[in-house]
Amino acid sequence: MSSLDVSQGVCALVPGLQHWLENAFFTVRIVDAQSPREREDRRVLLATEIGHATHRDILINLIDGLPSLVPAANGLPARVAFGLEDMGFAFALIAELARPAAVPAVGDAGSTRLMTLAGRVARSDATVLIQGDTGTGKEGMARFLHAQSGRVTRDFIAVNCAALPETMMEAMLFGHKKGSFTGAANASEGLFLAADGGTLFLDEIAELPLSLQAKLLRALQEGEVLPVGATHPVPVNVRIIAACNRNLAAEVAAGRFREDLYWRLNVMPLELRPLAERPGDIAAIAAAMLLRQQDAFVWPTAAALEKLTGHVWPGNARELGNVLQRAVVLRDGDRIDADDLHITGAPQLRIVEQVLAPADPIRLRDVAHNSKLEAVRAALRETDGHRAAAARKLGISERTLRYRLAEMRERAAA
């Protein structure tokens, strides 16, 4: 975990911030703003504590007006001003401003537990298999594993196996000798040797043909590769992280993937859940994406954040990015409001199954509505029933949460 200092004044003014930061994979230390500090320490301070701040810090100010962000510049720290209505997104923004580049944006307690496990896995040299739907952040997890490993000073090389020309896959992975095939005017070391000493990330591993899977298995078992056209293998020291958006065990059962390679890859399995199952991450990822926009930072309203949290996200983070990018361009006002979010896409039936009786007709408005109630249930479970904390986690007001709870009670009584 990354450590982050929070002043006693901040904790007194916005006590929910510590809980959010801990869910965002930070180890929070409560400090006096005037206490001595290490050069690289980063602190969250009140705007009135600016005299004790450095350019690395984040100053916050609780106000009644519109929220604002002033990025760090000219030796001054970043400044975030917000009111109670915007507190949910402001917490996500503060966490994102402090987040190290190699750590994925998270805000959900379940994601933090997975990141903690991944940090332990990273310190070994074991092969890792990351599985999850498209857009759930598999490459981001792979980069995190590399950054937390002893190989961080060496190269991280990512390759999408689905994008490799089938006729060139072997040469691109293992290298080739000059003249070994038509067009091979020069020798090439290949991706395995390019990543020597570091990490090779093989995304969409299920797309490799069976013939190449056998050669990959040998490379993993023997720690050596045989370039195309070569007669002697070349030793290589590389850590493999593989990823797949399909169930690789099912691919084995269907005969499309070698069982022995599957077990060689599945030493340390990590499963990334769909975005709809980790609503706490939505505000965190949204903050990260909005900070990357070229123009001035655009704040979403509490209603917009509630709409984002209630959607089922069949396209996961990629869909979220598209929705936010359209909203930034097409918004009617200075902020992103709920009506600016043009959300499309098919609902996820597994969520319908959780919240609708089997005999109920499946209508789109039922899916969207019931997914919101499921998000409320999840937030209450993760905060042990603490309503204020659950509201902050969902990015909605406590009044809106009370409305949702009343609705759930009415449904239960019906």
- Rounded to whole angstroms, how far apart are CA atoms 192 and 66? 52
- Count structural domains, the chain: 1
Q: Does residue 60 form part of some domain?
A: no
Q: For residues 408 and 390, is the Cβ–Cβ distance under 8 A?
A: no
Q: Which H or E run contains 216?
A: helix 210-222
Q: Does residue 223 form part of some domain?
A: yes
- Rounded to whole angstroms, how far apart are CA atoms 323 and 309? 13
- Rounded to whole angstroms, how far apart are CA atoms 293 and 295? 6
Q: For residues 345 and 337, is the Cβ–Cβ distance under 8 A?
A: no
Segment 203-210 mean pLDDT: 92
Segment 192-215 mean pLDDT: 92
Cβ neighbors of 162 (< 8 A, separation 6 or more) are 203, 204, 207
Q: What residues make up the domain containing 202?
A: 109-272
Of 166 and 148, the one with more pLDDT: 148
Question: What pLDDT is stored for residue 359 in this prediction?
Answer: 39
Q: Does residue 251 form part of some domain?
A: yes
* pLDDT of residue 394 exceeding 80: no
Question: What pLDDT is stored for residue 349 in this prediction?
Answer: 37
Question: What pLDDT is stored for residue 367 in this prediction?
Answer: 40
Q: Does residue 17 form part of some domain?
A: no
Give the confidence band of 189 by pLDDT, cuts at 50, 70, 90. confident
Question: What pLDDT is stored for residue 413 in this prediction?
Answer: 52
Nearest to 379 by CA among 279, 266, 233, 268: 279
Question: Considering the chain, what is the average pLDDT of its residues?
Answer: 85
- Rounded to whole angstroms, how far apart are CA atoms 192 and 222? 13
CATH number of residue 117's parent domain: 3.40.50.300
* Amino acid (one-letter) located at 298: V
Q: What would the two tokens of residue 137 be? A: 């952040």
Q: Does residue 316 form part of some domain?
A: no
* pLDDT of residue 207 exceeding 60: yes
Question: What pLDDT is stored for residue 178 in this prediction?
Answer: 62
Q: Does residue 263 form part of some domain?
A: yes
Predicted TM-score (pTM) of the model is 0.78
DSSP state of 339: G
375-391 pLDDT, tens per residue?
777 676 666 566 777 77
Strands 224-225 and 58-62, how do they pair?
Answer: unpaired
12-32 pLDDT, tens per residue?
999 899 999 999 999 999 999
Instruction: Express as a percent the part of the chain with pLDDT over 90.
Output: 63
Q: Does residue 117 form part of some domain?
A: yes
144-156 pLDDT, tens per residue?
999 999 999 999 9
Question: What pLDDT is stored for residue 351 in this prediction?
Answer: 36
Q: Does residue 169 form part of some domain?
A: yes
325-373 pLDDT, tens per residue?
999 999 989 999 999 999 875 444 333 333 333 334 434 344 445 556 6
- Rounded to whole angstroms, how far apart are CA atoms 42 and 305? 27
